[in-house]
Chains A and B, each alone.
Chain A
């Protein structure tokens, strides 16, 4: 069993839709939770960061962590074609080594 599980998609939604991306994990010691966005032919870039449980909002993006269920989510409101990318969840026990999910490919069509 992988430490971090993520549905690879692809997920295809119309512009303006609310998108929900999710990851589950097995290591209860994870404390740092991140979402990276990766455009085609580019390296991943940090999108959202959360420490421990709770919610964090940044513009159209909301990250949620539920440590009791070992489940994290990323919500994208009013999705845009420019949001089309692969979204990778990542988590770690400390700050030195991230474990990544497989990534979910998102396509937002006009």
Chain B
């Protein structure tokens, strides 16, 4: 089983719908992240969390919200999806080591029509 699991892997929805992307990890890491990847723009940070009580905005948090339900679970919500939120979304975890290495899930491809 993957260490960082994202669900769903693919989702097509309509403008205005509420969408939740879920992430769970078995690595025991405290730090969790949500990124989105777009062609030509690379990976951009949406939100990150260092523990259950800590939530921080990234560079593109507008239109998104997150919930850290437990150390192992971090979900991303789009309250009212719009077409320019069509992208590949990645969850990642980071340990307490001094390298800053992130471990990524396989991605969730979201299409907003």
Interface residues of A (CB under 8 A from B): 6, 8, 32, 34, 41-46, 49, 51, 88, 92, 94-103
- Minimum CB–CB distance from A98 to chain B (whole Å) comes to 6
Identify which of B42, B94, B97 gathers the most chain A CB atoms within 10 Å of its CB. B42
Interface of B toward A, CB cutoff 8 Å: 4, 31, 35, 40-45, 48, 50, 58, 90, 92, 94, 97-102, 104-107
A100 vs B41: C-alpha distance when bound (angstroms): 9
Across the interface, do B50 and A98 meet the contact criterion of CB distance under 8 Å? Answer: no
**A102–B36 CA distance with the chains assembled, in angstroms:** 12
- Closest beta carbon of chain B to A29's beta carbon, Å: 14
With A44-B104, A51-B99 given, can you name 6 additional A-B contacts, CB distance below 8 Å?
A32-B99, A41-B107, A44-B102, A49-B99, A96-B94, A100-B42
Complex-state Cα separation, A93 to B64, whole angstroms: 25
> B interface, by DSSP: helix, strand, loop or mixed?
strand
Query: How many pairs, one residue from A and one from B, have CB atoms within 8 Å of each other in the complex?
Result: 59
Chain A residues near B102 (CB-CB < 8 A) = 44, 46, 98
Q: A6-B42, A88-B43, A96-B31 are contacts. A43–B107 as well, Cβ < 8 Å?
A: yes
B41 and A34 contact, CB distance less than 8 A: no
Docked complex Cα distance between A46 and B103 (Å)? 8
- Chain A residue numbers with a CB within 8 Å of B48 are 96-97
Task: Report the 3 A-B pairs with minimum CB-CB distance, sorted nearest first.
Answer: A43-B104, A95-B100, A102-B42
Within 8 Å by CB of A97, from B4, B45, B101, B105, lies B45
CA distance A44 to B44 in the complex (A): 13
- Interface CB pairs A-B, < 8 A, 9: A42-B106, A44-B43, A45-B104, A46-B101, A88-B43, A97-B45, A98-B45, A102-B40, A102-B41
Nearest CB on B from A92, distance (A): 5
User: Do B100 and A8 touch (CB < 8 A)?
Assistant: no
Set B40, B41, B44, B100: member contacting A96, Cβ < 8 A: B100
By beta carbon, the residue of chain B nearest A46 is: B101
Output the nearest chain A residue to B98 by Cβ-Cβ distance: A95
Closest to A4 in B: B42
Give every chain B residue within 8 A of A45 (Cβ-Cβ).
104
